[in-house]
Structure formats: structure tokens, C-alpha cells
Amino acid sequence: MNFLRCFFAVFYKDLLSELRQKEILNTLLFFGVLIVFLFSFALGTDPGLLKKISPGLLWLVILFSSVLALDRSFQAELEEGCLDHLVLYASSQRALFLGKTATNFCAILIVQVVTAFAMMILFDLPAPDDFPLLAAAFLLGDLGIAVLGTFYAALTIKTRARQAMLPLLLFPMLIPLLLSAVYATQTAMEGSLTNSGGSWLSLLAIYDLIFLTACTLAIEPLLET
Amino acid sequence: MRYITAVVLFIFFAFAQWWGLTQTPPDAMMGEVQKIMYAHVPAAWNSFLAFFVVFIASIAFLIRKKRRPEPAEGMFWDRLARSAAEVGVVLTGLTLCLGSIWGRPTWGVWWTWDARLTTTAILFFLYVGYLSFRKFVDNPERRAKLAAPLGVLIFLNVPIVYFSVKWWRTLHQVQSSPSTMDPAMVLALRLNAFAFLGVLILFIYWRYQIAKRKSEHEEAL
């Protein structure tokens, strides 16, 4: 019971401070749409090409912009010098970690949806073929990024060169997620003869499950004061 | 004593390489270029072994720390994980380079997006990340505490990376098994595998000693 209360307290606190400040979310949304815009300059405006590579581009945008959010996730507490207090107050460090993860998940999901819309408008993409598959790919993919990202943010928080370390460590870990999320999204957008979207989705679910468990078990030594 | 071990090992290593190069028949299809296998395959096997040592040492560190949280506890496992990761990265780099040299005449390309190849490259990145992360934490105790979960997590990712890339595409030839190979090749390959294993153990031991001396030096200051 205590665990759940702690989880919701951290989740609520972070969400509230984010909704009041709107610091991260505004930056991220702007950043996401801006990159989509930049892609058109870098790659030309050929609709066929853009349509073909849009699932990959979408997930790359999410990867890069989520690093910005993840990097900030322990930053507010650290700057005010209350991270150690938070860790001490929290009845469980795992609940604290999961609460942070939930907040990051919400932020990444919002950015993902908005970026996807921006992409559909700017690249003139047709409506997705398989909407539930697309939604599932978004949810599972963002969950995986949030879990591992929050873990690595906790890992790098007190190291030197934090901002360079986070993507360097995080991106190679996310390669399986990137692969399966991109192919699931592609199947959802265009439909597929082999219907491979389901198997990519199950790989995504297994990935999430393994790392949600492993990160929750392994988080304690990272947050110890 | 240390030098004797190193010299004996060097002689054995040279002998195993010489055996692989001269005492085995060239491959029926690939010819002499196939001889690179006697360095490429043992290096690959032993690099996986080294990463497995990192995984085990990281878990052992975490368990030890849980039982006895004193600062000085478990540093043996931390140094072992670090040394094994260093040697593993070197061997992985060697595997990739040799494979690339072999792939050019055989497959016609330096690099291809095949499952095992790509997985090895990702492994290389992951462990280079692990090592550079260690460089950026100054406090040795804190470094040990942070690196151990990282060592576990990275290793968990390996099978997932492998399967996802395998689904993505596959070209690497099926592994030869002893039954499909010339007995002379099998012997040479085994010989070299043990020679590389010796190198692996020796290197890990040396890096461990250096790490230990370094931390003793830091404490003395």
C-alpha cells in the first residue's frame, strides 16, 4: 500500500510541476516539430520518399527529443539540493523510480502523438491503415524508452559530462526497441502482406517486460545517497 | 613466475597460430583467406566469455554489497568486471576487424547488416559505453556501485539484440560444426581457442593488477 502511495505521490508531484511550468513539454514539442520540418529540407520534398522513411524518422525524433526530457527528470531536485531528501523520504526507491518513469512516459507519449500529427500534415501521409497496432506500438515503444531512459538518467545524474553520457549509453541499449517500433509502425501505416506487425509488437512487449523488471530490481544502488 | 607464465603462453600462442596457418588444408571454396578463422573465431568466443565474466562479477558485487555494505567490500568483483570489460572490448574490436578483412574477398563487402555481425558491433558500443562511463565517475566506491547494475543490464540486452537483428535480416553463413569440417581444421581451431583463452586470462589478470595498484596508490595519497 505504501508502495502505491509513494508511486502516485511522486508521479503526481512531477506531473503537477511539469503542468505548472510547462518547461520541458513546450521545449520538446517545439523541438520535435522543428526536426520534422528540418527533415524536409535535408531530404527534399519528394512525397514518395518521405512516406517511405517516415516511420524511421518519427522514432528518431522521439529518441533524440526524449533524451532532452530524460536528462531533466532528476535535474529539478538536484538543482534545489533535495534529491537526497526525496530518496530518504520515499518509502521505496523503486516506487520513486517508477513514479519518475510514469511522468517521463506521459511526456514522451505526448511528444510522440504531436510529432506524428505534424509529420502526417507536413509529409502529406495517408491515415494509418491499422490504428490499434499504431497505438500499441506508440504505447509500448514509449514505455520502453521511459523505463530505460529514467534508469540511465538516475545512473548518470552525478557523473561528469552527464549530457553526453546519457545518449551514449542509452541509444545502443534501445536498438532492439527502435527496430521493432519502427517496423510495427511501418506495418500499421502501410499494411503488410506478411502481417509481421504482431510479432514485432510482441518483441517490443517482451523487451519492455524484461527491462521494467530488471531496472526496478537494480535501481536501489543508483539512488543511494 | 609471472614472466614464465607469459613466455610459456606466448610460445603456445605462436605455436597454435603456426599450426593453424601451415598444418591445415585451405578451404575448398574460400582458399587461404579462410585461415583468418583461426584468429577470428577464437577471439569472438573469448570476447563473449569476457562479457559473461563482467555479468557474473557485477551480480556478485551487488550480492556482496547487499550482505555487507561496508565501503571496502566487493572491490575485487568491481575490478574483475572492469578488467574483463577492457579485454572483452579489445577482443571484440579484433573480431570485427578480422571479420571485415575476411568478408571483403569472401562476401565482396567490408561490412554487411547481418545478425551476428551487427550484434557484435552493438556489443562493442555497449561495452565501450560501459568503460567510458566508468571513467566519468571519480569516487571509486560510487563508481563500483553505479557500474554493477549497468554491467548486468547490458548483458541482458545481448540476446534481445541478437533476436531482433536476426528477424531484421540474416546473411552470415551457418556455423560450421565439427562434423562438417576437416578434422585438421577442428584441431587447429580448438588449439587456437585455448591459446586465446590463455591470453584472455592473462590480460584480465594484468589489468586487474594494474587496477589494484592504482586504487592502492589513490588511497595512499
pLDDT in tens, A67-126: 988 888 888 788 877 887 888 777 788 888 999 999 999 999 999 999 998 888 888 888
Contact at CB, A221 and B129, closer than 8 angstroms: no
Local confidence band at A222 (pLDDT 50, 70, 90 cut-offs): confident
Q: Please, what sign has the CA dihedral across residues B220, B77, B198, B104?
A: negative
SS3 category, A205:
helix
Average pLDDT, chain B: 83
For residue B52, the surrounding DSSP H or E stretch is: helix B37-67
- For residue A206, give every residue at least 6 positions away whose Cβ sits within 8 Å of its Cβ, in sequence order, or none: B160
For residues B186 and A99, the model is more confident at A99
Helices (H) and strands (E) in chain A, counts: 11, 0
Contact at CB, A165 and B133, closer than 8 angstroms: yes
DSSP letter for each residue of A159-178: STTHHHHHHHHHHHHTHHHH
pLDDT at position A211 over 90:
yes
User: What was the pLDDT predicted at B29?
Assistant: 67
For chain B, how many structural domains are there in total? 1
pLDDT tens string B151-168: 999 998 888 888 887 777
For residues A40 and B91, the model is more confident at B91
B31 DSSP β-pair partners: B27
For chain A, how many structural domains are there in total? 1
Mutation site, B66, B146, B152, B165, interface A, largest A CB count within 10 A:
B146
Q: Using CA atoms, how far apart are residues B204 and B199, in angstroms rounded to an integer? A: 8
Contact at CB, A168 and B126, closer than 8 angstroms: no
* pTM of the entire predicted model: 0.85
Q: Which residues of B71-100 are buried (b: 16+ CB within 10 A; e: fewer)?
A: eebbbebbbbbbbbbbbbbbbbebbbebbe
C-alpha torsion A133→A136→A140→A142, nearest 10: 100
The three three-digit cell numbers of residue B147, written as one number: 557500474
DSSP letter assigned to residue A225: -
Pick the closest to residue B91 from B62, B61, B120, B126 (CA basis): B120
| A99 touches A14 (CB < 8 A) | yes
Q: Using CA atoms, how far apart are residues A216 and A176, in angstroms rounded to an integer? A: 20
B27 DSSP β-pair partners: B31
* Numbered residues of chain A with Cβ closer than 8 Å to any chain B Cβ: 151, 155-156, 158-161, 165, 168-169, 172-173, 175-176, 179-180, 183, 199-200, 203, 206-207, 210-211, 214-215, 218-219, 221-222, 224
Contact at CB, B152 and A218, closer than 8 angstroms: yes
User: What was the pLDDT predicted at B130?
Assistant: 93
Chain position carrying cell 508521479 = A11
pLDDT at position A142 over 90:
yes
User: What was the pLDDT predicted at B128?
Assistant: 94
Q: Where is average pLDDT lowest: A52-61, A193-202, B94-103, B194-203?
A: A193-202
Q: Using CA atoms, how far apart are residues A154 and A158, in angstroms rounded to an integer? A: 8
Question: Mind telling me how many Å the CA of B21 is from chain A's nearest CA?
Answer: 36
User: What was the pLDDT predicted at B171?
Assistant: 46
CB proximity B154 to A under 8 Å: yes
| A184 touches A204 (CB < 8 A) | yes
* Angle subtended at Cα A68 by Cα A32 and Cα A27, rounded to the nearest 5 degrees: 50
> For chain A, what percentages of helix, strand and coil (3-state, to nearest 5) are there?
85, 0, 15
Contact at CB, B145 and A222, closer than 8 angstroms: yes
Contact at CB, B138 and A160, closer than 8 angstroms: yes
Mutation site, A59, A74, A175, A225, interface B, largest B CB count within 10 A:
A175
Query: A129 lies in which domain range?
Result: 2-223
N- to C-terminal Cα distance for chain B? 30
CB proximity B152 to A under 8 Å: yes
Q: Provide the angle, in degrees to the nearest 10, between the axes of the packed helices A47-72 and A131-156.
A: 40
Smallest Cβ–Cβ distance between B149 and the set A156, A207, A218 belongs to A218
> Residue A149, Cα to own-chain centre: how many angstroms?
7
pLDDT at position B174 over 60:
no
CB proximity B160 to A under 8 Å: yes
Query: B211 lies in which domain range?
Result: 2-220
